[in-house]
Amino acid sequence: MICTVTFNPSLDYIVDVKDFKLGLTNRTSSEKLLPGGKGINVSIVLRNLGIPSTALGFTAGFTGDEIIRRLQEMGVDSEFIPVENGISRINLKLKSIDGTEINGAGPEIAPEKVEELIKKLDRLGEGDVLFLAGSIPASMPDNMYEKIMERLSGRGVATVVDATGKLLVKVLKYHPFLVKPNHHELGEIFGVRIYTGEEAIPYGKKLQEMGARNVLISMAGEGAVLITENGEVYQKPAPQGRLVNAVGAGDSMVAGFMAGWMETQDYRHAFYMGLAAGSASAFSENLATRDETAEIYCQVAESR
């Protein structure tokens, strides 16, 4: 069984506005509505690569219903827990001004709903995979990742954690199978600036010393670095292509890596799959497909 957790999923309203002006009425030149959230992105890319998973988390109101409906249309199984107070958030992403977003708060999640999610995760055991990705809503305990990983400790579940700062550092003692900081996040943990793969390697190894088994570091235009539990280090530049949409590229890298690992248990292949899937999403309006990933994989494998 493969599960992803998105505590605070969203409907992402992605719009393009030509010549955006503050204080005036602006009209969109293009728009689309997609289910969003880091764990959801992982489930979508896994599905595109032919690997089924179950998306877990919390939804509320009509927006929550729409998130589930759209995932069903995409062929992604979900078992979201409905909550009563509030609605699932709508995140506005303005393509015309790079990085400009207005994200909703999301619903309030009661303690009994949190316990219901944990009981769902109790089904996981030897050989299963769990993806924990993204932030923790204010209405939930801030040690939620720790509680989940402590509960699953010793069961043989391969946990993948894509989180920032203290959220990531505090779970390392539970030896996650994979962590994936980007180079900015890695630098923030250790109070340094990281610009190149060579600079990232010693700090990735420090995360291993703190408990992580494998460390995958995304470097934006610089590509990526993988430090494996076997002591191997892989480094590749970013494939050639035009950046269209960076949203979900890191999630796609995580999904591609694990898809490659589950296929072959070979770290080099998994690394290439991760870099290919992440780049495929970055070069596309939507998340990486199998054909797009396969095409870029060839480019990654041939590059030096």
As annotated, the active-site residues are 251
User: For residue 99, what are the contacts with CB-CB under 8 A and spacing of at least 6?
Assistant: none
Burial group, residue 72, by CB count within 10 angstroms (0-12, 13-18, 19+): exposed
Question: Beta 77-78 vs 30-36: how paired, if at all?
Answer: unpaired
Give dist(CA 167, CA 286) in Å, integer.
Answer: 28
**Are the C-beta atoms of residues 254 and 220 closer than 8 Å to each other?**
no
Tell me the three state secondary structure of residue 132. strand
Q: Give the residue from 269, 189, 266, 187 showing the smallest Cα distance to 222.
A: 187
Give dist(CA 187, CA 185) in Å, integer.
Answer: 5
For the beta carbon of residue 9, count every other beta carbon within 10 angstroms.
31
**Are the C-beta atoms of residues 54 and 77 closer than 8 Å to each other?**
yes
Give dist(CA 33, CA 199) in Å, integer.
Answer: 38
User: For residue 301, what are the contacts with CB-CB under 8 A and spacing of at least 6?
Assistant: 272
